[in-house]
Amino acid sequence: MHHTPVLHSEVMNLLDPKKGEVVLDVTLGLGGHAKSFLEAIGPYGRLIGIETDEANLQQAKENLSEYGKQVTFISGNFRDLTSFDIPEADILFADLGLSSPHIDDPERGFTFREDAPLDMRFDRTNGMPASQLIASLDEQGLAKIFWTYGELKSGRKLARTLKEAESVKTTFELKECVEKAVGFRAKTMLPQVFQALRIAVNDEMGSLQILLREGPMLLKEGGRMGVISFHSLEDRMVKQAFRTLATSEKDPVTGAVSQEAAFEVLTKKPVVPSDQEVEENPRARSAKLRAISLLAC
């Protein structure tokens, strides 16, 4: 299965994996970025890959089989990072985007282009599918999801339409509700609606918050952490977290530095895809890469 990782060369150049290093890839996916990390760290390096989607994990194991015991595979969510037996890492990497199989397999319920059960869970063994989430929330709760995660001004109207519907159990039933609520604007709003529900179903922002708090603590001196985000709210969270880590503490009275910052921001501005990459892979269009490094004591 061919898979082109987003911002591939930019990730490698910025995080600069070296021979013998330990890499923690918390969004293993199909192993696209992991393969490049493994080639760079050589036979004495080690990669730990975490993946929440069992189908993706099995495919990654097949794709990376040539590296044998160099790779440790963990089935789970990176929000549970500290519960896994993970060593300190030279590199921690996260790609927060959907993997290609999520989009390409209509039965997963991530796309409005095919009719299928409205699921949207990365891990189909846990949590509540999107259809149940819609049924369980009131109009106000749904409207909040559409505004917060989709920045939809018509979120309240759509929420009302969904609650009035007899059934919203498939992707096409959701699509019909969007069309009923906003008419001709549905074409441009559908991606935002599906995105908002997907983020809510998987608690993606909650997981990211935990990663940004706990991930940097797993880095060795000189270690690098890189995150690719695809949503403006995600990018703001990453930017703020990295900026805070790289800011020295000052005495509130004297203004003197009381504790030097332990981290350095490696990306003053986010790294974005080239025009050529966007042309070849339109899904990369909104990708933004930010990184920090842990300074030596």
Q: 182, 201, 220 — which closes off a domain?
A: 201
Q: Model-level pTM?
A: 0.92
Least confident window among 25-34, 100-109, 284-293:
100-109
Do 162 and 88 share a domain, yes or no? no
Do 79 and 148 share a domain, yes or no? no
Domain span including residue 186: 123-201
pLDDT of residue 1: 41
SS3 per residue for the chain: CCCCCCCHHHHHHHHCCCCCCEEEECCCCCCHHHHHHHHHHCCCCEEEEEECCHHHHHHHHHHCHHHHHHEEEEECCHHHHHHCCCCCEEEEEEECCCCHHHHHCHHHCCCCCCCCECCCCCCCCCCCCHHHHHHHCCHHHHHHHHHHHHCCCCHHHHHHHHHHCCCCCEHHHHHHHHHHHHHHHHHHHHHHHHHHHHHHHCCHHHHHHHHHHHHHHHEEEEEEEEEEECCHHHHHHHHHHHHHHCCCEECCCCCCEEECCCEEECCCCCECCCHHHHHHCHHHCCCEEEEEEECCC
Domain CATH for 146: 1.10.150.170
Decide if 108 is inside a domain: no
Do 211 and 84 share a domain, yes or no? yes
- 275-290: per-residue pLDDT in tens? 999 999 888 999 999 9
Do 192 and 211 share a domain, yes or no? no
- 16-27: per-residue pLDDT in tens? 999 999 999 999
